[in-house]
């Protein structure tokens, strides 16, 4: 017999924080009998990791082809903070009584962190792990991941207000005679958007040629560059399609006009600032599929995904938007009592106090985001789960007896369906 239940709870329903804010939480245990432990240990960690395998075919000295697999890896640690909630690693054994026991913890996040990211060949991830340190037995680990957002305010860079404009033209040759052109014009009002917003696209086709345009395809893509440092420097690039929309056909000699809206799902902000082993960009790709043996028309332009939408643009509401505050859940208390019958230990705080090393106790107010006062009337964003999930939360050195709660993790990102970009000019 042993632990009946073990679960970690953080102090907001989305488990989402901005860099520089304080994470408060608790570990809840249910024991079916008294347990002797050296202590209960909590560790906060933020890191980026990349990993992929590559196969290479080589001939040996006898002319036989052999396959060699190489595992490329990169790692970057942003912070690691640990302390004991109860006991110590070299102290006397402590007996925990049976029943439900609750221990609180807290961590002030560094102010400069890259946003959480989960990708095919790497991640930026933040976790808290609580370990029941048991002498002469396997330690019992409980782990949960949480989202960290590095704010990207689109209002701070004038280039994000610039429109996107594709202009493509092609003539087709037939028996040494060039046809009149096929002209494709695609426009979007700005180049910076936030999740939850739509990208309004105007597509104008003038097909003066004698070749039919079958389809105009619009792709929103995630462009990621992963870097490895072991066993040597290596790079892996991926281009994943997030959204696809299409229209057509446009017969020879015809003119067509369409207006499309691409809604941006909950995805991480561009750039992954302060991460040197993963680069994240987004682009819009336009591809025009034509009939016959002719080459398709293709072009792409980068767009920026932010966490604070553009404000004060023509066509938007006259109210001045504000930046988001950290998500919070008034229905879920940040502080629970120390376990019944347990003395106060270093790291267990009943509220309001400051711990050594600048730690802020549960119950203290969260620091205000530095841009919050700039846009005082913007409604708070809705935090939504990303479609990109972690394959596993098990990490190097984690115990095989670890509990992950919940077992599935996907970051949450702020979305702004209520704040839309300006309409396209007529």
What is the predicted pLDDT for the residue at 178? 67
Maximum mean pLDDT: which of 48-62, 288-302, 362-376 = 288-302
What is the predicted pLDDT for the residue at 69? 87
What is the predicted pLDDT for the residue at 68? 84
321-337: average pLDDT:
38
Residues 191 and 228 placed together within one structural domain of the fold: yes
Sign of torsion, CA 250 255 259 263?
positive
Residues 192 and 298 placed together within one structural domain of the fold: yes
Domains held by the chain: number: 2
pLDDT confidence tier of residue 318, bands split at 50, 70 and 90? very low
Residue 169 in any domain: the answer is yes
What is the predicted pLDDT for the residue at 134? 81
Chain mean pLDDT for the chain: 84
Cα(131)–Cα(413) distance, integer angstroms: 29
- The answer to whether residue 368 scores a pLDDT higher than 70 is no
Of 123-127, 293-297, 360-364, the poorest mean pLDDT is in 360-364
What is the predicted pLDDT for the residue at 57? 76
Residues 192 and 275 placed together within one structural domain of the fold: yes
What is the predicted pLDDT for the residue at 55? 87
Final residue in a domain of this structure, among 271, 305, 339 = 305
Residue 419 in any domain: the answer is no
218-239: average pLDDT:
96
- The answer to whether residue 367 scores a pLDDT higher than 80 is no
What range does the domain containing 71 cover?
3-55+66-151+326-411
What is the predicted pLDDT for the residue at 252? 92
Residues 373 and 390 placed together within one structural domain of the fold: yes
* CATH label of the domain that carries residue 239: 2.60.40.640
262-289: average pLDDT:
96
Strand partners for 196: none
Residues 9 and 43 placed together within one structural domain of the fold: yes
Residues 235 and 286 placed together within one structural domain of the fold: yes
Residues 132 and 170 placed together within one structural domain of the fold: no
Residues 116 and 51 placed together within one structural domain of the fold: yes
116-172 pLDDT, tens digit each: 999 999 999 999 999 998 877 788 899 999 999 999 999 999 999 999 999 999 888
What is the predicted pLDDT for the residue at 246? 95
What is the predicted pLDDT for the residue at 352? 32
Portion of the chain with pLDDT greater than 90, in percent? 60
Residue 316 in any domain: the answer is no
Maximum mean pLDDT: which of 5-19, 308-322, 333-347, 356-370 = 5-19
- The answer to whether residue 338 scores a pLDDT higher than 70 is no
Residue 324: CB partners within 8 Å, gap ≥ 6? 307, 308, 369, 372, 378, 380, 381, 414
220-235: average pLDDT:
96
Which residue is it, tokens 């700005």?
A: 190
pLDDT confidence tier of residue 355, bands split at 50, 70 and 90? very low
pLDDT confidence tier of residue 315, bands split at 50, 70 and 90? low
Residue 204 in any domain: the answer is yes
403-425 pLDDT, tens digit each: 887 778 999 999 999 888 888 87
What is the per-residue DSSP string for 262-286? EE--S-PPTT-TT-SSEEEEEEEEE
- The answer to whether residue 371 scores a pLDDT higher than 90 is no
Strands of 60-163 (E only): list them.
65-87, 94-96, 99-108, 117-118, 122-133, 140-149
**Helix (H, G, I), strand (E, B), or coil: what is residue 159?**
helix
Residue 178 in any domain: the answer is yes
Final residue in a domain of this structure, among 251, 273, 305 = 305
Cα(299)–Cα(8) distance, integer angstroms: 48
- Report yes or no: 250 and 234 within 8 Å, Cβ to Cβ: no
Residue 60 in any domain: the answer is no
13-22: average pLDDT:
92
Residues 250 and 222 placed together within one structural domain of the fold: yes
């Amino acid at each position: 017999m042993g632990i009946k239940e073990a679960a970690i709870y953080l102090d907001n329903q989305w488990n989402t924080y901005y860099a520089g804010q304080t994470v408060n939480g608790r570990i809840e245990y249910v024991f079916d009998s008294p347990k002797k432990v050296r202590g209960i240990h909590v560790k906060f960690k933020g890191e980026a990791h990349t990993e992929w395998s590559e196969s290479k075919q080589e001939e040996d000295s006898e002319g036989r082809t052999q396959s060699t697999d190489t595992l490329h890896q990169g790692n970057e640690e942003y912070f690691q903070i640990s302390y004991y909630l109860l006991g110590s690693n070299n102290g006397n054994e402590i007996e925990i009584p049976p029943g439900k026991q609750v221990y609180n913890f807290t961590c002030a996040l560094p102010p400069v962190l890259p946003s959480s990211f989960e990708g095919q060949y790497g991640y930026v991830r933040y976790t808290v792990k609580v370990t029941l340190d048991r002498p002469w037995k396997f330690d019992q680990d409980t782990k949960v991941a949480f989202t960290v957002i590095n704010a990207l305010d689109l209002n701070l860079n004038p280039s994000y207000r610039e429109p996107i404009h594709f202009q493509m033209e092609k003539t087709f040759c037939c028996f040494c005679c060039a046809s009149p052109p096929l002209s494709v014009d695609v426009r979007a009002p700005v180049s910076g958007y936030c999740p939850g917003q739509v990208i309004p696209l105007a597509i104008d086709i003038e097909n003066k040629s004698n070749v039919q345009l079958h389809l105009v395809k619009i792709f929103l893509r995630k462009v990621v560059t992963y870097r490895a440092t072991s066993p040597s420097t290596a790079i892996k690039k991926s281009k994943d399609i997030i959204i696809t929309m299409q229209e057509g056909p446009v017969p020879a000699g015809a003119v067509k006009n369409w207006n499309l809206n691409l809604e941006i799902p909950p995805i991480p902000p561009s750039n992954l600032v302060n991460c040197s082993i993963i680069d994240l960009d987004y682009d819009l790709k336009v591809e025009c599929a034509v009939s016959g043996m002719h080459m398709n028309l293709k072009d792409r332009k980068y767009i920026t995904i932010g966490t604070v939408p553009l404000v004060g643009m023509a066509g938007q509401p006259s109210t001045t938007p504000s930046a988001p505050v950290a998500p919070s859940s008034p229905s879920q208390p940040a502080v629970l009592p120390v376990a019944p019958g347990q003395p106060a230990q270093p790291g267990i705080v009943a509220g309001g106090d400051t711990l050594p090393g600048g730690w802020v106790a549960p119950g203290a107010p969260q620091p205000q985001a530095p841009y919050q006062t700039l846009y005082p009337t913007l409604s708070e964003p809705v935090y939504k789960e990303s479609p990109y999930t972690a394959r596993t939360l098990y990490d190097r050195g984690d115990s095989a007896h670890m509990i992950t709660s919940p077992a599935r993790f996907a970051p949450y990102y702020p979305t702004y369906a209520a704040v839309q970009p300006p309409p396209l000019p007529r």
